[in-house]
Chains A and B, each alone.
Chain A
Amino acid sequence: MQCEASVYDELMNKLLDGEATPEEERIFHNHLRDCASCKEEYELLTDTLRELQLQTHIKAPEGFTEAVMAKLPKERQQVKWMR
């Protein structure tokens, strides 16, 4: 069942944007105790977003820097040599 109160929807967005005041945060968390649908939604979102933030293991492949440096246009290199 969907929670009818759009005010909590808005609060959830504020919270997830990191823009809720401590008071708003308190009100929202109180609401979660009574509202299973908001609770489920909030947990699903925070879990998903947390997982996204944990994806720091993705790194540029070995030899990336060397590959870029090898492709730089040569003329700028010469500017340096001529100094």
Chain B
Amino acid sequence: MDALIANMVSQVKKGDQEAFEGIVDLFKDKIYRHCFRMVGNGHEAEDLAQETFLKAYRNIDKYNNDFKFSTWIFRIATNLCIDRLRKKKPDYYLDAEVPGTEGANIYSQLAVEDPLPEEVVTENERRNELQQEIMKLPEKYRTAIVLKYVEDLSLEEISQIMDIPVPTVKTRIHRGREALKKVFQMVVKTR
């Protein structure tokens, strides 16, 4: 897989735009999911994921083999998401009505893959609840938790993506888990 990606990257560097299509196809779900977890809404996640690939394309000459390509592109996505989050009020996403819609909030905009009708309610509820809890985490903990548990990346990779030392990554994961546990406990108790 790494050799395949390296080959595509070198084609793109030579100006072969079609080779970039392969890269987008390979990483689009991971990057979209990561953005979705970070910003909590489908439209913005799509926008940010597109921006990630465009930025990767524009900067492909700067990519070298110091990092895995996946680490490099996750780093671009993470930085774009954090920039976006910082431009917003922190509580904007929680239950905010989406501008230009009637009463639709972000939870009604989750991408769903046609589940059976009877599964819809409970599945969506659980999913929304979890996303809601993730959105409550401070962004630095959220990033670490999402990279570790949603994307299953190593501490070393997360350290490179977030540009912080491994022990700091660990601390953030621990605190993130702790925070996630607390908010989840409240959800469980109020049921």
Taking beta carbons and an 8 Å cutoff, which residues of A are in contact with B?
13, 16-17, 41, 44-45, 48-49, 51-53, 55-61, 64-65, 67-69, 71-73, 76-77, 79-80, 83
B contact residues, total (Cβ < 8 Å): 46
Taking beta carbons and an 8 Å cutoff, which residues of B are in contact with A?
15-18, 20-21, 24-25, 28-29, 31-33, 36-37, 42, 46, 49-50, 53-54, 57-58, 110-113, 126-127, 130, 133-134, 145, 149-150, 152, 155, 170, 173-174, 177, 180-181, 184-185, 188
* Interfacial chain A residues near B185, Cβ < 8 Å: 44
Contact assessment for A64 and B180 in the assembled complex, using a CB-CB cutoff below 8 Å: no
Distance (Å) between the CB of A76 and the closest chain B CB?
A: 5
Q: Which of A44, A45, A65, A80 contacts B15 (CB 8 A)?
A: A80
Once bound together, how far apart are the Cα atoms of A61 and B109, in whole Å?
Answer: 12
Name the prevailing secondary structure of the B interface residues: helix
Given contacts A51-B126, A60-B29, A65-B21, contact A44 B111 (CB under 8 A): no
Distance (Å) between the CB of A67 and the closest chain B CB?
A: 6
* Interfacial chain A residues near B32, Cβ < 8 Å: 58-61, 64
Contact assessment for B150 and A65 in the assembled complex, using a CB-CB cutoff below 8 Å: no
Further contacts, 19 of them, CB under 8 A, given A49-B177, A61-B46, A68-B53: A17-B155, A17-B173, A44-B184, A44-B188, A48-B181, A53-B149, A58-B29, A59-B32, A60-B29, A60-B49, A64-B50, A67-B50, A68-B24, A69-B21, A71-B50, A73-B58, A76-B15, A76-B57, A80-B16
Q: Which of B21, B33, B42, B49 contacts A55 (CB 8 A)?
A: B33
* Interfacial chain B residues near A57, Cβ < 8 Å: 112-113
The residue of chain B having its C-beta at the shortest distance from the C-beta of A83 within the complex is B15
The residue of chain B having its C-beta at the shortest distance from the C-beta of A16 within the complex is B177
